[in-house]
Structure formats: C-alpha cells, structure tokens
Structure 1
Amino acid sequence: MDQALDWLIELESADSAQQARFQAWLRADPAHAEAFAQAEAIWNGQVIRDTANALGARTSRRQRLRAWIRPMVAAAVLLGIGYGIDLPLRLQADHLTVAGERQRLQLADGSSVLLNTRSAFSSQIDSQHREARLYEGEAFLDVPEARGLPLEIAAGPLRVSTQGSALSLRYLDGQARVQVQRGAADIHAASGGARLRLAAGDSVSLGPDGLGQRQRLDPARDLAWVQGRLVFDNCPLGQVLDELRRYYPGLIVTASPTLAKVNVTGNYRLDDPLDVVRSLAQVTSASLHELPRLLILN
C-alpha cells in the first residue's frame, strides 16, 4: 500500500519512463494492482472529496496527496472503506467489537475479559486446553488461580502464560504489549525465544525489533480505558488523535503537521469521542469541520 500511494502521487506528473516502471510494478505481483485500485478508490471516494472541499485547499492534487493521503488511507483501512471486511479475522474470532464498543466476556475457566474497541478475541478452554488469542485490539483479563494448566494467551508475536493475575494485552499494527496490574505473568516471543517474567506493575512491548525493556506501569494513565477514560499528559496531539480514531466510527483528519505536534494534556470520557475532538480543537485553537463520519482539524 505504501508503494501504491507513492505511485498515486508520482503518476500525477509521470513521464513515459515513469509510466513504464509503474506498469512493470503492476505486473510484478497481483497484490500491487489490488493495492493501487484500493488507493485510487479511496482517493476518488466521497470522503476525500468532502475533506478537500472542507479544507478549501488551493494546493495541487499532488500536494494534497503528500499532505494527508497516508493518514486518510490508514483510517480508511481501519474502517474498511475501500477494503471490505476482514473476512479471515471474522471467521477466526469468537468475539468482535466495533468502534466505540466494549464487551464483557466470561470464559469457561472463570476468567473475565473486557474487550476494548475494534478488537477480536477467541478462546479454547477444556480439559486439554486453556488458551486464548487476541487477534487485534485490546483486552483486560482477570485470570483466577486454577489447578493444572495456566491460561496461555497469544497476541500476535507475544505469548503470555499466567494465572491468578489481572493484566492488559494490546496488539495493534504489529506491536504487542502486556501490562500486569496484579499477580505475575511469563512472557516469551513466538520467534527468537526471548523470555521475561513480569510482576505486578510491570509492562513490556514486543515489536519488529524484538522484546523491549521492562517498563513500570502507570495504572491511572495506561489502564484508564478499562474505566472508560482516555488520559494523556503532555502528549503530541497527533498521538492522541491516533488513539481516538479507534473509538470514532468515522475519519478524524488533520492536514497540519504543526498542529499534530502540539502537546496536550487531558482526562476524557471515551464514550463520546466527538466531544473529545471538540475539546481538543478548543484548547489548541484549531478549526474543526464536522461532516458525516468525518472530522477535520486544521
């Protein structure tokens, strides 16, 4: 998709040599043509046109593409706009949540699970297995003590073995994180064999660069979502908006790199992300354009 977006920009003023390279790229892999078609569909869609009109953009299509096509496409991918439903994920998961939704689950072993927004989760618990998997999103688990097998939880490349604990798991964009509120958990990477034991108050992430350093958990901030809150302290607005996009059933866009770098502090309820965006626009002196399923900060 990154390559498709680059081509979408380059083709705005492509010469014959660039056109030939583009055709060779399309032929190299069927996924290339599919990605380019999806990128074009998103750009030509009503949401993009509404955004350009709301911004009153006088820049060229090429400049607008460079400024905000990537975050727009990222949000569109998240919402399934131009991409359809992630059918394999829906077939695998027992439980799914949409934007702004949370689910409380009770597993067969007595474990309770709070599934956060845009999450997918399944479990298999019987006499031979005590397993769960977070396919994407975020979950908070309260796992009771049990004779025999601990609960084994997979979240992308991260594996967690635990019982008698309370912990949060998050898996988004290839990055997994576990935060232990109570008890302990054994952590290991699915590849590479790195292992770590976490105690209450510990947190660790696993991404493309491997297992990170042990961090201390700040429950009031890091687990605020469990209480339905979003807490941030001196964070760049762009980072806050990235988190809010998971809760809002539409697109949130800012076309200003400067605005995205403005640091903000706040403690907000997550059940009304539109109100949060309005508040953030006010404290940053940004203009906010509200359209159906589309918020634009500028």
Structure 2
Amino acid sequence: MAAIFFNKLGNTDEAAIRWLARLDMPDLSDRDKQAFYHWLNSSEKHQAAYLRAEQLSSRSNQLQNSNNLELLFNGEAQGRSSADGLSVSATKGKALISFGLPAWQSWALSCSIMLMGVAVLFNVLQANDITSYHYQTAVGELQSHTLADGSTVWLNTATELSIELGEHERKAYLKKGEALFDVRHRDGQSFEVYTDSGVVQVLGTKFSVYYDNRDATVTVLEGKVALGFAQDENASFEHQQVLLPNQSLTFQAVRDGEQPKTVDAKSVLSWRNKRLSYQGVALELVVKDLNRYFDEEITMVDDDAFRQMPVTANFRVTSVDEAVYKLAVSLDLDVSVSDAGQTHTLAPRGN
C-alpha cells in the first residue's frame, strides 16, 4: 500500500520526503525497498529530489541537539501540553515546538509533521497524478508490458525506456534501443515519444521507434504518427512530417526534407514475436542488426560486393551460432570462428 500511495504523488519533492521517512520505518518491506529503488532510478529528477530531502534530514538532525524546533506549515494550531514534556504554540504559517525528547523521537516527530503537510496536499496533487514506468532489457532480451491506460509496449534487445502517464498527457523517453508501441486512443490526449533526435506524437496507433545513439527511425504499423522537434519536453510540439502505415523515416531524413520510405512494417517489426525477417536487405545491414542481439560479434570480410549481397530470410532469434548457420546455408557462405568463440566472420564460399 505504501509503495502505491507514494508513486501516486505528482510532486517529486513531496515523494522524496515520503520515501526518506518510509525507509526509516521498522515495518519497511522488501517490496517497499524495490519500489523505492524503481522510483529513484527512473529519473534524475527523483535522484536530485532525494538528495534535497536528505539535506533537509541532516539539517533537522542538527536542530535536534537543541530544545526547540521551529517548523513552518500552512495552517493554524492551538497551544497544548502533554505529560511527555511537549508543548506546541502556533500561529498561521509557523509553529514553535519545545520538547525534551530523545533525538530519534524528535526526528520522527518532525517527519510526521512534514508528512501531515503532504497528506493535506494529497487531494490537490491527485489532479496531477503521474504514474511512472522504467523498463530495461539486456542484450538478446525481449519484454512486453501493458500500461495503466491500456496501451502496450514491447522492448527489443538492449533497450531503455521510461514512461510517464498523467491525466492530461502521456510521455515516453527512449534512451536507447527499440520499442514498439500499441497506443490506446484517448480523446484529446496524445502520446509522445522523446528521443535525442526528435519527438513522435500520436493519438492512437501502433508504431516503433529505434534509437541507435545517433538517430531514431520511426516505423508505422497501424494508424499514423507525426514527427517533429521540440527544445525540451515543455516546449510546444511542431510536427514536420506525417507517417502512414508501412512507412518509415529517420529524424535526420525529416531535417533533410526526404520523403517516407515504404516498408513491410509487419516484417520489420517481427522481432516482437522473437523472429527476424529480411526482404532483400543488404548483408551488411543484416549483420549490423543481428549484432544487436548477441554478446558475440558477427563480422564480414572487406569486400563491397559481398557486403551488398541481398538477403531474404526469416528465422527465430535464439543464438549467434544458429543465426550465422542460417545465413551461411541460405547464401552459401564460409564461416570462421575465433578461438575464443566470440567472433564469427562471414566470407564468400572459397574466398
């Protein structure tokens, strides 16, 4: 319950304060710990907010050495005293708390008061609820996930993706790799995918974005998407190009004014079913694509005509040995393997 409640908070600093307090509670569970690390690692903003919360904690610890702790809060309180030696006197906006408590109890008290302020704000923050997701795949690993809005996302090999779903907007951040999105339509609410190359905006469709740390390629399977650019996630989106089903384009091509390429999107995106399909694709491009899925490397001899040899093949992604074997059989190639088994080199037969 705690993990779900914390993640609903729209304000990052409020969430950081809650996590800091929760981590000191004796009933902290393994599930809470996992949720905390998921929240912390999903955004640099979360990490910065948590550092600020820790600094606040440190300052509070310094104040605990005195007998008075002055706290600011939005509200009014009446003076009272207790048998524990605690007295509170307050006016709107400020409270002076005098106590004779052990240090840990003082910090717990200050945390409790801060968290009461957070709880008071919770109903206001609900209007800006943001549900965050962070996914990452290893080399050769594939994943699929259904989001809270009913959309589905598939992650290809070596991919890192963060998603934020809010009441008024849905945003995804593709840091590397390739993701296929099946976006559930919502009236008046777009779905945007950000890469370092540009932004993809949709209302409801099925498309993929592949970012190779230099440029991003967008391929549409169903519906249509708009490609454009924005200075940052808060800047207005201005689309430059629209893609329809079975069309593909890179952001660099958009900048250069090129037209979309016609592709067999179903074949291009067959990786989500753990299959790779190529229709007349140059061998060097096939090898480059295959190398995304394995720790071992596939190389080719330095022969331009050989590298441009067209490949038409369809096979499952299981191991580098099987992939190389199928290429060698279908194209009548020679294969040499390094002593360590980490490099497979392709060459024309009898070369």
What TM bracket, shorter-length normalisation? 0.5 to 0.7
1:43-192 residue pairs with structure 2 within 5 A?
94-190=134-230
Distance 1:164 1:234, change over 3 A: closer
Offset of residue 144 of structure 1: 0.6
1:276-287 residue pairs with structure 2 within 5 A?
276-282=323-329, 283-287=331-335
Name the SS for the 1:287 alignment partner.
strand
Q: Distance in 2 between matches of 1:273 and 1:287?
A: 12
Matched letter for residue 189 of structure 1: F
Contact 2:142/2:272 (8 A) holds in 1: no
Does 2:303 match 1:261?
Answer: no
Identical amino acids, percent of aligned pairs: 26
Offset of residue 261 of structure 1: 3.5
Length, aligned pairs only = 210
Task: Show the counterpart of 1:54.
Answer: none
Q: Distance in 2 between matches of 1:208 and 1:214?
A: 8
Task: Show the counterpart of 1:49.
Answer: none
Matched letter for residue 216 of structure 1: T
Offset of residue 260 of structure 1: 2.7
Matched letter for residue 327 of structure 2: L
Task: Show the counterpart of 2:57.
Answer: none
Contact 2:277/2:315 (8 A) holds in 1: yes
Contact 1:103/1:115 (8 A) holds in 2: yes
Contact 1:106/1:113 (8 A) holds in 2: yes
Where structure 2 has 5 or more consecutive residues not aligned to the other structure, the ranges are: 1-40, 45-132, 232-236
Name the SS for the 1:286 alignment partner.
strand
Contact 1:96/1:121 (8 A) holds in 2: yes
Matched letter for residue 196 of structure 1: Q
Offset of residue 150 of structure 1: 0.8
Name the SS for the 1:105 alignment partner.
strand
Distance 1:112 1:252, change over 3 A: same
Offset of residue 201 of structure 1: 3.0
Q: Distance in 1 between matches of 2:272 and 2:282?
A: 22
Worse-superposed segment, 180-189 or 260-269: 260-269
Using CA pairs below 8 Å that are at least 6 residues apart, which structure has the higher relative contact order? 1
Where structure 1 has 5 or more consecutive residues not aligned to the other structure, the ranges are: 1-88
Q: Distance in 1 between matches of 2:254 and 2:225?
A: 21
Q: Distance in 1 between matches of 2:242 and 2:282?
A: 32
Distance 1:120 1:295, change over 3 A: same
Q: Distance in 2 between matches of 1:161 and 1:155?
A: 12
Task: Show the counterpart of 1:196.
Answer: 241
Offset of residue 277 of structure 1: 0.8
Name the SS for the 1:246 alignment partner.
coil
Matched letter for residue 292 of structure 1: G
Task: Show the counterpart of 2:342.
Answer: 293
CA deviations on 1:100-141 (whole Å, 9 max, x unpaired) are 101112223221100001111001112254111111111110
Task: Show the counterpart of 1:27.
Answer: none
Offset of residue 159 of structure 1: 0.8
Task: Show the counterpart of 2:284.
Answer: 238
Distance 1:174 1:209, change over 3 A: farther
Contact 2:248/2:261 (8 A) holds in 1: yes
Contact 1:107/1:123 (8 A) holds in 2: no
Q: Distance in 1 between matches of 2:283 and 2:43?
A: 36
Contact 1:289/1:297 (8 A) holds in 2: no
1:203-222 residue pairs with structure 2 within 5 A?
203-207=248-252, 210=255, 212-222=258-268
Offset of residue 264 of structure 1: 2.8
Offset of residue 194 of structure 1: 5.8
Offset of residue 295 of structure 1: 2.1
Q: Distance in 2 between matches of 1:169 and 1:135?
A: 11
Q: Distance in 1 between matches of 2:144 and 2:207?
A: 15
Distance 1:180 1:264, change over 3 A: closer
Name the SS for the 1:94 alignment partner.
strand
Offset of residue 253 of structure 1: 2.3
Contact 2:174/2:195 (8 A) holds in 1: yes
Name the SS for the 2:333 alignment partner.
coil
